[in-house]
Chain A
Amino acid sequence: MKVLAFSHSMDLALELISAGRELGDVSLLMTSDQEGRINEVKGAKEILLCKGMGSGDQEGLVELISGLADDYEIVLLASDRRGRELVGQVAHRLGGSSAVDVSSLSVEDGKLVVERMTFGGKAIAVEELGLPAVISVQKGKFKPPEEGEPSVREISAPSVERRIEIIERKEKPKVGVPLDKAEIVVAVGRGFRKKEDLKLAYELADVLGGVVGATRPLAADLKWMEEEVWIGISGVRIAPKLLIVVGASGQQQFAAGIMDSKVVVAVNTDSKAPIFEQADYGVVMDLYEFLPVLTRKLKEIKGG
């Protein structure tokens, strides 16, 4: 199989190479803004460097990838927002199949077989895709390869009629430890009444040496936290050894993101909240009363 890979994020691009190597030879497409990281690329057969295009050019990328894809059976993209935006468009241009956020992939009888979460995390779908196939790969599932020097070929940018113009673009500040790599996570939900109260969660995370994540409404709607820290089907999937969920109801879309956690603790005033079914240890209590005491007791142990 010949595999073409591309991601706006170089970190995710490196993961794609390793996902693609399970299927065949991988060519990694890189854009002008990524050239500085070309030496980090290992394990791909070749790099296709397009100096005439930046990764922010969505229409250009659809055109470029669709054009290149004629020579490949499988196109791998990343499951970040910009990657997912491309999948359906490129697949349709090729008259091919598509799937997003796949966690495993293999080739059987000339078909690509993938697994992905569906029904808000209640089921795993095993899907057979006809070729050509365009898919996005779940973040963090594959480790970047460490060996194998790729050759580099420069390619030119196609000319495209542009209907999308970027009129403003602001880079977002980077967050500290990425949630999907953290060992201990305290996840906060709408049970917190105001932003300042989150300090209760930060203090708990501090004494445990962990990081704080959130449900979608806290990050995306209320904007109390960075968007990178929302957990769930439309956010990050985490796999810490200890997760403490505080003041979150445990709706399915959130629960889908915590399934791989080793030990889950839930703190919620409502004994009927679905989060208790997702937890190993449940504390039916007001977080405002419970967290300060838990943090104080943990400090006592850690201190002495």
Chain B
Amino acid sequence: MDIAVLVKQSLDVQELRVDQDTGKIYIEDAPTKAGDIELNATEEAVRLKEKLGGKAIAIMLSTWGSSGKRQKEAREALTRVLAMGLDGAVLIMGEGAEKGDTYVIAKALAGEIRDKFRLVLAAEGSEDNFSGLLPARLAAELGWPYVAYATAIEVEGDYVKVTRSLEDFEEVVKVKLPAVISVTQEINKPRVPKLVEIVKAKKKPMDQKDFSPPVEPKLVIRELKVPKVERKQIVIEGDVEEAAEKLIQALKEEGVL
């Protein structure tokens, strides 16, 4: 059974610089990487494949532009997941992809997946935008069932058994394949590839394709604003006793005790 893993090229939000005074967001300068939860999805795909046979392939549609820097980063991100044990990767990149909303991207990805895979694994949300919309839309586009927030997955013949935790319930569901499943960070601990695996990964097939928007987007980002959060950042000095006293004094002055 062949598995597709959706790996987003995510902005590294920890490294993203924003200027609260000017409101500027330095997107171009921020590095991108394979999102953390995508590594969990990758790990799960590799485990399933090792058990069941078949291939597991990463699919990435790059939405942060197609400059030389972004190309290089995208390929590095894919090399990383290939080194974890995936068999190959498809990278879709090109002008206009950065304007593509989840409606457009789902349509574009469906063509790479329909007829080729029985199971699609994705992250519950991407690291930079965390909407979780794409796997749901992809499932709807393919006409496949969708189950989100998986914390355990088992394939049994034509079905996947998915354990998941919702706010009010713990659930185990049986889903008929083909299906789209999104996973949470808790599903596994992604393996850290060894150097030799990274070297080998560079020889694995990576198929780069040009993006051409199949439809017009339904959503436009009008503006990105920087929220103003002002913190005093006062460091309390002294030994334990002094520090506790100073802190209590400060909190009294703030009127919160």
Contacts and interface: CB of A to CB of B under 8 A. Distances in A.
Contact of B222 (A113, A242, A297): A113
Interface stretch (A22-30, A39-47, A86-94, A191-199): A86-94
A251 B141 contact: no
A85 B244 contact: no
Interface stretch (B69-77, B84-92, B232-240): B232-240
Interface of B: 11, 13-14, 16, 18, 25, 101-103, 106, 124-125, 127-137, 139-141, 145-149, 161, 165-176, 179, 184-186, 218-227, 229, 231-236, 240-241, 243-245, 247-248, 250-251, 254, 256-257
Chain B interface, >50% SS class: mixed
> 7 tightest A-B contacts by CB?
A88-B136, A92-B140, A120-B13, A97-B218, A168-B172, A88-B133, A163-B176
A122 B235 contact: no
28 contacts: A56-B169, A81-B148, A88-B102, A96-B218, A97-B103, A101-B131, A118-B224, A122-B16, A122-B25, A122-B227, A124-B226, A126-B223, A127-B222, A128-B220, A129-B219, A165-B173, A167-B174, A172-B167, A221-B186, A242-B257, A264-B231, A276-B233, A277-B231, A277-B233, A281-B232, A284-B235, A290-B244, A293-B241
Interface residues of A, number: 88
Given A88-B140, A97-B219, A124-B227, A82 B131 contact: no
Contacts of B247: 265, 281, 283, 294
A266 to B, nearest CB: 10
B236 to A, nearest CB: 5
Given A172-B170, A227-B165, A88 B137 contact: yes
A88 B251 CA distance: 44
A253 B145 CA distance: 29
A164 B147 contact: yes
Contacts of B222: 113, 126-128
A298 B103 CA distance: 54
Chain A interface, >50% SS class: mixed
A81 B229 contact: no
A263 interface: yes
Given A89-B137, A98-B219, A259 B229 contact: yes
A127 B221 contact: yes
B243 A285 contact: yes
Interface in A281-304: 281-285, 289-290, 293-294, 297-298, 301
Given A89-B140, A293-B240, 11 more contacts: A88-B136, A91-B137, A96-B218, A119-B25, A123-B227, A164-B145, A166-B172, A166-B173, A168-B171, A172-B168, A172-B170
A139 B221 CA distance: 22
Nearest to A62: B140
A92 B106 contact: yes
A289 B240 CA distance: 7
Contacts of B168: 8-9, 171-172
B150 to A, nearest CB: 11
B137 to A, nearest CB: 4
Contacts of A165: 173-175
A233 interface: yes
Contacts of B171: 166, 168-170
Nearest to B133: A88
Contacts of A163: 145, 175-176, 179
Contacts of B137: 88-89, 91-92, 98
